Chains A and B, each alone.
Chain A
């Protein structure tokens, strides 16, 4: 082609691009456009700890177990049945007839391979904690697999259902991890149509998805996943119809978007609990006022959790009474509670020797929490506690917590779709780096709950710990973390409590 021809062709193409409207999302072309936050380089949830990656994994892969969000029960997915063999061994019987996206059959070997691959401590995965409970896997007969654990780990079924997506042994061994991260093959309801870092991820329905899957059959033909970090841009795209579904928006934005005619909104509580932690043992310095129980009680009384939750968190989000959410196994609400009472808070401060209040740094994470965090600061300010807030990044936050330099702060506990009180208590009240109470009584109870498998004994142990935490106000539990979604009215969508939407369950109305 001559240079002139090329120029003309380019010009015409440019003109065509200008003339054509931007790709609209929606029902008409049976393409769901879902806007996520963080751009991803690879599609392996083991080699990428971003929560958005877990969402994508959900669509491409299956787990051995699936947790029914309605009942909270673990139902078999890739497995046909499962049971505890002993405190450190789980047994799974594998379904037959399931096929990988490339048509090859799924087998017990794939499960064994995946577990053993991840259990290798030398493997460079930054989501090590998701795998470190597993020691090895062993094939018992044709379709039965045992997973051996490194320690007694009662939350194992939860981890299996949430994190342990199964990889294809033969394909993985053929292409290697680097190629697999870019073009993975799963058993899941959707398969990859195209993936280039920096571009939207295109998925298409897996027509050969196995019939007995507890999540049902995928209904929407095509999925286009975009990555847009700035929440306003996501909101704007939804408003102009370029996107069908967005999550992680502020309550105020959700309310406003709900007024837009072609949009619908939904909000759900999640399995995470938000809390304030208080340095009750003086890790940050012997002189911290927070060592006084009365000061901690004053803080609990000073915050108008009800008003903040109603106005800024969301209409149906339950307040947390204890250091857990009601969805977690082992949680209880039969603990001491502290009603909003600024007068009493001032009195308690005066009794503790701080009639004029005090100043303290306050560390927290998360840009989108800023608004209600400010409301909390303002309430504290009313009773004389002047906090200097530090909105930091995750590493800086972790450092302050582990080093014990933080006096007080906000946190979100639980999560990563683990519905078990151990995920809160085992992490924050185990006497370790993140424990600002280091109360022997609590530590012992938490240890017990984390090791025994008997549900009733676990419940009792956790109740003991939670009661003590509330009495001593080691934490001020706030409310369940919530997640807000807005979406195209044509889309039938129910927000999942585990923050991991399953596209296979969505339909066009």
Chain B
């Protein structure tokens, strides 16, 4: 049975839908990559999962369960956050509170969910800082975020997310803001931690190179919809959706892309939210587009996954 099961998740700003009909599931120990261009709704999907949407944004879903617990019940979702589900973000520079020490911020999470004295929380924080590869953890605990480099801060963020031994970690572009060398280290760390702790990991990235290295399964998003979801092999070797195909054409060597390779060269631009209510959102940029594409295609099951295209087989 999967750890997280989502059906029909949507996010909208007032009447404007930003994310539509997203189905997702992830099992313990699995890595799911949410890939797509910026603005495709990856981050919003993740934030909606965590119930962290900003003011003015609303979410709805047909079903959302985490280990059997109904995530649509706000109280339940709040109790899970930071405890069994944790999330880390793109900008380590701003994601930590500037006026509290690293230790203070880590310990606050533990005490919130586990209670107990600060000594216990401190031991846990020390242990995790060491585990995520931060040297001299005693000293780091007393430091403020601005005294740490970007890479160290992201490690501290990961440590904070792991304070309560979560079952699911959502990492929203965790390496995008970092130097290339640091990127690789952080990704390796995430992979190791996942193996060690049996974490389910949802990795959000626009970098197909990262996805191809990390993912067990991959979901490609376009204009607020999942257009293709499949295991890594299928997505990178035999993509079914024209968008996925176009994306992969942009990468020099298939399946062998180096981290940092960007999605760049599909002519045209993603339609702004709320523009097309019906039809395939990709049809304006699609080389295969025909009249039929003006009506919305369903997510069709295909070998190894499913794809939202009339032509997918």
| A contacts B: CB pair < 8 Å | no
